[in-house]
Structure 1
Amino acid sequence: MYDKNESGRTAAGAGRGEHEDADTVLATGTVRLRDGHGDSAGTGFLVGDGLVLTCAHVVCDALGKPRDTEVLAGARVTLDMPLLAGPGAPGHDIEAEVAHWVPIREDRSGDVAVLRLLAPAPGARPLPTSLSRRLWEHGSRIVGFTRRSDRPVWQRGSLLGPAGKGWVQLSRADGQTVRVTGGFSGSPVWDNALGAVVGMIVAAEPVRDDQQAYMLHLGALADEIPALAEAFLVPTPFRGLEPFREEDADVFFGREEDTETVVRALRGERAAVTLCGPSGCGKSSLALAGVAPVMRRAGHEVVVVHCGRTSRPVGALAVELLELARQERFGPPRAIGVERVVTWLTGAGLADTVHRLTGSATTDLLVVLDQAEALLDLPEGDLTALLSVLFPSRRTAGMRVLLTLRADFIDAALSHERLGPVLKRGAVLPLTPMTREQLRAVITCPVDRVPGVSYEPGLVRRILEDAGSEPGALPLLSFVLRHLWEEQSGGRLRVEAYERAGGVSGALRRHAEEAWRKYVPSVTGTGFPDPAGAPEIPDPMETVTHARRLLAGLVRVVPGSGAPALRRVLTRAEAGEQRWRLAVLFAGKDERLLVLHGGAGTPESVELAHEALITAWPTLSEVVREDRDFLAARGVAARPGTLGKSGPC
């Protein structure tokens, strides 16, 4: 009765509820509204960050007002969470205020209210939701609280057809004796097939054997209060051009065997493992979302140093160790500066520094050096300092290092006077492009986990055929999958949206060129489209020059290597304000071609979202091709160890 995508799997519970039963999930997001006497006025449920959805008439009952009385925004109500506290035990009072209130209209529409919690509720989490309307005969469950009891009353039912005004009929399951009475209004309706909430109880017929209840579909609720639409949307499981992070582990698929191989190597006798592969094959994602969570579950602390973003990796390591030490389990944070930690690292070593910072005797630590090819540009002193910290003459048990390295730099790394011996003493593991079955998992598994969302028939097969087996196809695939998710309609990822985007090979190219046309002409003679305002650039050619120099500043060429161009971190000071304003536009949430770093008192910089843009973005490719000699000369002239960051761009 419910959709299957082309992998043959059915939609399961939303991410966090995948390993939890429905009752456990509902307990973390269902609330009870109480009146001035402490009795139940009805039910509600969390749908977003601090938002509670319930019926308008339940709010009136909680406030002791007639149901036809208007309730103004800001009115205070009291909630608790008896399911979270445990059956029979009253929950702690939670204060909330009315954010939206839509009264019951004469045609039975309306009757919706949104509350905002005034303080976080420990243990509370928003419930997974689905906007799917394919609900016929899906099993359901709801919960209510009668006025004089703290014990919940559960009812099993079956979802039937629409009953007008966004209502959906809800029939009691066979043999179910519980009827919907006062205290059920506002209850979330859990769809057993979708593993998510699909509506809210709003009305019921008089109590009798064939009683029917009615829910208001979430889509109708969003029509009443448009702000709810965003709360109902499930965040995209696809990262686009960004690598998967450790917190994305539950939506990272396709590299399970590779993860086991790397973890097995890290648990061996060698202190370092180098994960080597072509650009765009997913090395960073495997290290961060695959290996790091497994090592952490095995008892290792994990810190990550992004080598491509720093010219001082020992300092970056010190920053990450300070962040580690600030975690609550290590006690109150101490006022220790980065430079002091650097002194400890270079003097006493990594293990001793971890002991001092955490007060823990653990030596189980994994340091991930992402984009380790950037280490080749470090001055000898900085590289020697880093290697001395990570690979002391006397090895500490439990300390491990995982490096990710582009395959086209493996020869340079192995022949490097300082880095080469370290890599040779460790294990070098090749990471090959994904197989067709691995790519199928990347495409289908994240969608399988989300209730009510599926691919249109034939689309998965077409994406697989278009993705092929090219080493750099993964970021292009990830980009188009994110685009499809954001363009979904009616819970379907559509063929039409895929074709309009340009498919796997064309989506990123088309997106980047549209962004270029959108922003570069728009600033010509009229000023930057920035709400804060910006100086106008009267000369159109000056605008184009600034935009092209911005792109040139974001790439680097290793002189004499013959290797493809690499992305490069560009500081705000180096770019200048006119180019920085363009950088901010290209990094906006609608474009996501660039990534901004820093701010809030720290130096600001920008870089390409992924090196795949160097070949996929025609304008950028043209800049690299035409300016390659200049970019190589800049690499020679730049001070060693700055990754080409110094000097004008």
Structure 2
Amino acid sequence: MPRYALVIGIAKYDNLTNLPKAVNDAEKIAELLRERGRFDVQPLPGKLIEGENRWQVTPDKKLIGKELGQTLRTFLLEKAKGSEALIYFAGHGFEALSLTGEAKGYLATSDCNKVDGQNAIAFDDLNTLIAKSQLTSLVVLLDCCYAGSLIERSLIQSSFPVFNSKLDYCLIAASRASERAREDAEGGIFTKAVLEGLAENQADETSGEINVNDLISFVSRQLKQSGQEPIYMDGGRSIPLVWYPPKNPVAAGVVSDECPYRGLQAFDKEHAKFFFGRQKVVNNIQQKLAQANFIPIIGASGSGKSSVVRAGLIPVLENNGWRVLEMTPDVEPLTELRAAFKPFFRNAREFYDCIRNHPDGLRQLILRLPSSERFLLLVDQFEEVFTLCRKEEERHRFIELLTQCHTDRLAIVTTMRADFLEPCLSYESLTKLIQEQAVYMPPLLGGELEEAIASPADLQGYQLERGLLGSIQQEVVGQEKGCLPLLQFALTELWEQRDRQAHQLTVAKYNELGGVTGALNRHAENLYTSFTKHQQDWVKRIFLKLVRTGAQAKDTRQWQAKTKLLSIAGDNPDEQQAINDVLEKLIQGRLIVLDSEPTGEVWVDLAHEALMEGWERFAKWRKEGRELRRLRDRIEDTLRIWEEEPRNENLMMGGLLAKVQERWSELESDLDTATREFYQHSDAQGRQRKTAETFYKIYLSENYA
């Protein structure tokens, strides 16, 4: 497909300061795009060399408004029609008030009037041309000196609404409204960063490509301490800009059998090379981190929040010298927070006091670290603060520590399901940061979805059979939340049944699997029906224990100690071994996962929340006996608190004890030995208290009547 670039560098102005370096910057961009970007480049000011079919820059020539306006019209509506296009502008930009008093943005031309915008190119007019154009993609690079206000997001959205709808586009601007687009001895520092970001040493080793997402990430890092911050808007696929000879090509007949898909597991940094389609979100998080040190990432279950951080953000930060700490809140978030930082401290008492008591605890921890490294604390599954932590005092302290940490050396990123936004509103500091800094996970659509499906297989030397990509996209687009893990699971199953001779993933196998929505349910059912009836009962109880039953249908996954699941069989060693065999089979079937602590304790979790709806039988189980399971969770929470404290005699009392006594016959079989003993102890003490109260009342009535 043909590619066309219009490269503009204006040095001469009648009513503004001359910018001699703007033309030099434009020449360098034009040369790079011509040699490495496969663009047909037209520079302005410039002239067409007769007989050679090429353009030559004329640096001393002025570029008047009429000429630039006509050239833009011809370029967008005629020359680049049906093709990929790129526009680069280096020069002045300014705002002028319209007759109604509204600010309008302009690109300055040599003969323009800064007061009223006469002879300048209005953003509104440029937007109209873009809307009329029939391009396949568009990249715009604006290095506008003295015109930071032109590129504020609010102004861009009003002046360039087409950028909100065009499928494949990217607008990168040099600075914010409050900043100047600066120059050094060589030229504009934004253009310098663009040229460095498109240099050969930044190219992908396997493809030799540098795309707009790569460029955005690089330029943002380069200009971080420069006094100006580039901003961007983009949509659709990540548009390739330049190519170099691959350093490590894989496509030339090299085939790998390593599965590039993750099933129900999140992508992590070890599998980052297979993680495609979310670069824009990663770039957005990086931009937010440049402005603040607390970034909540919020999205529906199954939207890929953890993968974006683990496989997208963390590798980038580690390559830039960051240290990454990871945790989930679990039942005791302060304990988990201490565990994340514990390797860096020898003085346990000082460490404990910072977490528990110091008003600026996390900052104090960082100040006590000997090095000058920057740290990222990832708090994954932040909703556990509300679903698993039962102590309000601990929850409040944890949120306070995270949201009131003010230090450049520590950044905090949290991931949370969108349906838990409401409980966040009870905490003012958390609400404020969500309003100002949240990154919301958009649906994976268009070129990004195509990347996520096809690129991992392509990297391994496999192709999707004709028609397969369209079939998958048709099924996925418009599906409800949670579809991405189902997609990854279906692709994993499809990979296992790939055509190894033709190096293809085929339509026939995809249909056999039942498509995206049917693959997980079919797999889980096949595994479930392979168990005996007695084992199937264990499977049901195991899965229901791995779910925290919420109000209405708002359930979340919850880790369980493996010993607790084994105790479903009571104290019988043979039965416990039989349950262990069931667990192993579920692990091999990729429906549950294990994790272990240094103490040797092993924990069990669902492979992904998507199982709760994606496996129809499990979804049906969750609808049964919800009130009883919520009561079971409350008993286990109370037991946990009691075990943490010095075995006080409060035990289970009041309304909770009365409810458990009322429904004990239904609950008993689903509780382990420790929980049953806890209830029996509570019940006995409750009855003793009741008897004592009765005798006391009798005593009072007989002696003081």
The normalised TM-score by structure 1 is 0.55
- Is 1:271–2:293 an aligned residue pair? yes
Distance 2:606 2:347 in 1: 30
Distance 1:337 1:615 in 2: 46
Whether 1:566 and 2:556 are equivalent positions in the alignment is: yes
Does the aligned pair in 1 maintain the 2:251–2:459 contact within 8 Å?
Answer: no
Q: Distance in 1 between matches of 2:485 and 2:423?
A: 25
- What is the percentage of aligned positions where both structures have the same residue? 26
The counterpart of 2:609, out of the listed 604, 608, 611, is 611
Q: Aligned match of 2:282 in 238, 243, 259?
A: 259
SS in 1 for 2:324: strand
CA contact (8 A) 1:369 1:404 kept: yes
Matches for 1:182-581 after TM superposition, within 5 Å: 194-195=251-252, 233-268=256-291, 270-307=292-329, 310-322=330-342, 336=346, 341-343=351-353, 345-346=355-356, 349-354=361-366, 356=368, 359-362=370-373, 364-377=374-387, 378=389, 379-392=391-404, 395-414=406-425, 416-417=426-427, 420-421=430-431, 423-424=433-434, 426-451=436-461, 453-470=462-479, 471-489=481-499, 490=501, 491-518=503-530, 520-521=531-532, 540=533, 542-559=534-551, 562-575=552-565, 576=567, 577=576, 580-581=579-580
- In 1, Cα distance between equivalents of 2:418 and 2:635: 26
1:580/1:315 CA distance change after superposition, 3 Å = farther
Q: 1:266 to 1:544 in 2, by over 3 A?
A: same
Query: 1:435 deviation in Å?
Result: 1.2
CA contact (8 A) 1:252 1:289 kept: yes
- Structure with the higher helix share, 1 or 2: 2
Q: Give the Å deviation of 1:236.
A: 1.2
Assess if the C-alpha contact under 8 Å between 2:377 and 2:411 holds in 1. Answer: yes
C-alpha contact 2:549 2:630 (8 A) present in aligned 1:
yes
After superposition, the C-alpha distances for 1:276-329 in whole angstroms (9 at most, x for unaligned) are 11111111111221222233334432212123xx32233333333356x5xxxx
Q: Which amino acid aligns with 2:587?
A: G
TM alignment of 1:26-175, pairs within 5 A: none
CA distance in 2, matches of 1:440, 1:449: 14
Is the alpha carbon distance of 1:551 and 1:340 closer, same or farther for their aligned partners in structure 2, counting shifts above 3 Å? Answer: farther
What letter is aligned with 1:290? G
Rounded Cα–Cα distance in structure 2 between residues aligned with 1:586 and 1:259: 36
Which stretches in structure 1 are left out of the alignment for 5+ residues?
1-16, 23-189, 199-232, 326-333, 522-539
* CA shift in 2, pair 1:192/1:249, >3 Å: closer
SS at match of 1:602: coil
**CA 1:194 to 1:292, structure 2 compared with 1: closer, same or farther past 3 Å?**
closer
SS in 2 for 1:371: coil
Q: Kindly tell me: are residues 19 and 628 of structure 1, through their superposed partners in 2, closer, same or farther at Cα, counting changes over 3 Å?
A: same
Task: Measure how far apart 1:344 and its partner are.
Answer: 5.0
Structure 2 gap segments, 5+ residues each: 1-202, 209-246, 568-575, 645-669, 673-705
Once the two structures are superposed, residues 366-406 of structure 1 have per-residue CA deviations (whole angstroms, 9 ceiling, x without a partner) of: 211111111114222322342344344x6112322111111
Describe the SS at the equivalent of 1:597: strand
Q: Is the 8 A contact 2:271 2:311 kept in 1?
A: yes
Distance 2:401 2:414 in 1: 15
Shift in CA distance, 511/342, structure 1 to aligned 2, threshold 3 Å: farther
Amino acid at match of 1:549: R
CA distance in 1 between partners of 2:302 and 2:424 (Å): 19
Q: Which has the higher strand share?
A: 1
Over aligned residues, Cα RMSD in angstroms?
Answer: 3.4
Single out whichever of 249-258 and 416-425 deviates more from structure 2.
416-425
Task: Assess, with a 3 A threshold, how the Cα gap between structure 1 residues 353 and 587 changes in structure 2: closer, same or farther.
Answer: farther
Query: Contact between 2:403 and 2:433, CA under 8 Å: does it hold in 1?
Result: no
Contact 1:246 1:293 in 2 (8 A): yes
Instruction: Provide, for residues 178-201 of structure 1, a one-character-per-residue CA deviation record: whole Å limited to 9, x for no partner.
Output: xxxxxxxxxxxx997834668xxx
1:492-551 C-alpha deviation (Å, 9 max, x unpaired): 112222122111010000000001011x22xxxxxxxxxxxxxxxxxx5x4443222112
Question: C-alpha displacement at 1:361, in angstroms?
Answer: 2.4
Kept in 2: contact 1:550–1:583 (CA 8 A) = no
Please give the per-residue CA displacement for 1:576-596, whole angstroms capped at 9, x wherever unaligned: 23674255234333x100011
CA contact (8 A) 1:613 1:620 kept: yes
- 2-structure distance, mates of 1:476, 1:320: 31
Cα gap change, 1:271 to 1:424, in 2 (>3 Å): same
Distance 1:437 1:192 in 2: 23
> In the alignment, is the contact (CA less than 8 A) between 1:315 and 1:339 conserved in 2?
no
Structure 2 CA distance for partners of 1:196 and 1:386, relative to 1, 3 Å: farther
Q: Distance between the aligned counterparts of 2:640 and 2:269, measured in 1?
A: 28
**Once the two structures are superposed, what CA deviation does each residue of 1:94-138 show, in whole Å capped at 9, x if it has no partner?**
xxxxxxxxxxxxxxxxxxxxxxxxxxxxxxxxxxxxxxxxxxxxx
Deviation at 1:481, TM superposition (A): 0.8
For residue 512 of structure 1, what is the amino acid of its counterpart?
Answer: A
Distance in 1 (CA, whole Å) between partners of 2:584 and 2:393 is 38
Q: Which amino acid is 1:554 matched to? A: L
Inter-partner Cα distance in structure 2 for 1:367 and 1:238 = 26
How far 1:633 sits from its partner (Å)?
A: 2.3
CA distance in 2, matches of 1:566, 1:607: 11
Partner of 2:622: 624
Give the superposition deviation at 1:642.
6.9
Partner of residue 19, structure 1: 205
Match of 2:587, SS state, is: coil
> By how many angstroms is 1:472 displaced?
1.7
The CA distance in 2 between the partners of 1:237 and 1:337, in whole Å, is 43
8 Å CA contact 1:275–1:404 kept in 2: the answer is yes
Q: In structure 2, what residue type is equivalent to 1:294?
A: V
Cα 1:640–1:195, aligned 2, differ >3 Å: closer, same or farther? farther
Aligned residues: 391
Distance change >3 Å, CA 433–CA 578, structure 1 → 2: farther
Secondary structure (helix, strand or coil) at the match of 1:267 reads: helix
Displacement of 1:610 after TM fit?
A: 0.7
Distance 1:438 1:570 in 2: 36
Secondary structure, aligned partner of 2:276: coil
The residue type equivalent to 1:295 in the other structure is L
Q: Determine which structure has more spread, i.e. the larger CA radius of gyration.
A: 2
